[in-house]
Structure formats: structure tokens, C-alpha cells
Amino acid sequence: MWDNVCISSSYAVNVETATLLMNTSSPYTYAAGYNFKHRGTGPLTNIDPYLSREKPLEPHRSQLSNSTLQALSKFSSHWPEVEYIVDPLCAGIEPMLLGGASCASIAYALVSSLSQGDVTIISNSTDLPIINPNLLSDLTDIELAIATLKRQRTIWKTPEMKPVVIGEEVVPSVNVSTDAQLVRYFRETTRQLYHASYTCKMGVSNDSLAGLNSKARVFGVSELRVVDASSFPFLHP
């Protein structure tokens, strides 16, 4: 099993974001619902985030170890390593803790993740399988996550963001600064992007992890193919 992991940092901001909709009894939420239903206008018409991708830039890239850089070099040279998601919500913070202010997050996904989990069938009946995502089990992912969050913090501190943000970082907070503290934050808050693949991957017949041949046909079963993302032999960005 192979999936992207997602981590966020958040600030209170002085513009309206979808955070305000989390208070379902507020006049703001009622008006947003009314305008969406009767006029097709308002914040509910478009709350999709903006995306961008890159390989982390200097000075953050130089913080990666040689072993991590070598591991990442196995991917195609044009393959991005992280995906940034500008999200009009706050990661893990209730709106009332911000004094009624809106909140925004920059989330990032590791799209060159090397951590792999597994799905284990535990019986020949309909019992649910054991799913082990095994997120952040590879040291390369840990180093990349640390470097990317530090880069994220520089984005929040740019002159362009200064008129928007209010106060200091609320998630994970300015008190989370050492690499060890960041890793603990990652392990407590990391979530999947639900792009799981590789659970029934295409491969050759002598590959113990392969369930399909190159035409997506299930080994040992006639006239059955698997054509969803589980058949991918690697995780796409």
C-alpha cells in the first residue's frame, strides 16, 4: 500500500475563509446557505483550494542528507516532491479558539513518498482486512517533511502574506521548532490524501507483491481485471 501523506500549518487571517462556516448556527452560515440555494452565489459556490508542486528550494534542500537526496533521485527528474494546498480551513483548531477570526492553512503532501504499508487478508470469509498505512516509516519522508514545513514557514513570513496573517502561527505553533518536536507533530497529525495505490499492483508472475499482469489481469483467475488505482505499481504524484 502506497499513499501520499498530508501535513498542515495554519494562521488566523483577516479575510473570510471557510472556517466561518464551521459555526452552523451563525448568521454568516445561514446567509451563505441561503445565497447558495436561492442565488447560486457566496462562499459555498467555490471553496476548492489552490495547488502547486515543486522540489523544495534552497536553503531548505541543502538540509536534506545525502542518503535522502539519493533516494529521491530514483524518481524521474521532472517529478515533484511536494504538493502545496492552500486551504481555507484551520488544521485541528476550533474556530472559537481564534476569537472568531478566520483561519487558513498551507497543507503539503509528500508526492515522492517512500513509506509503504500493506493490506492483509485475515481469513477466507468476509472479515475486514487489516490495513496498515505505515505513514512516515521511511526516514526520507521524515527529512522531506521537516524541510518542507520549514519552507512553508518562510512562505507565511513573506511580505505578500504580512497584510493577511494575524499574530503567530497557531498550528503547529511557534513552540514546535526543533526537528524532534516537528516529527512528533507529524506523527500526531499526519493524514492520508486517499490516493492509495499499489495494493494489487501490476507486475511479473514471480513478484510476490504483484496481483496483476501487465494487462491488469488477476494472476490465477480468468476473465478478471483490476483497473483502479490499486493496480498502479508505484504511487503517482
> For residue 20, what are the contacts with CB-CB under 8 A and spacing of at least 6?
26, 28, 29, 43, 95, 102
- Residue 195 is among the residues annotated as catalytic for this protein: yes
Write down the catalytic residue from 60, 78, 195, 236: 195
- For residue 13, what are the CA distances in angstroms to 19, 27, 60, 78, 154? 10, 20, 26, 34, 16
**Contact, 91 vs 171, CB < 8 A?**
yes
Q: In this structure, what C-alpha cell is assigned to residue 172? A: 503547529
CA gap 212, 226 in Å, rounded = 8
Positions marked catalytic: 195
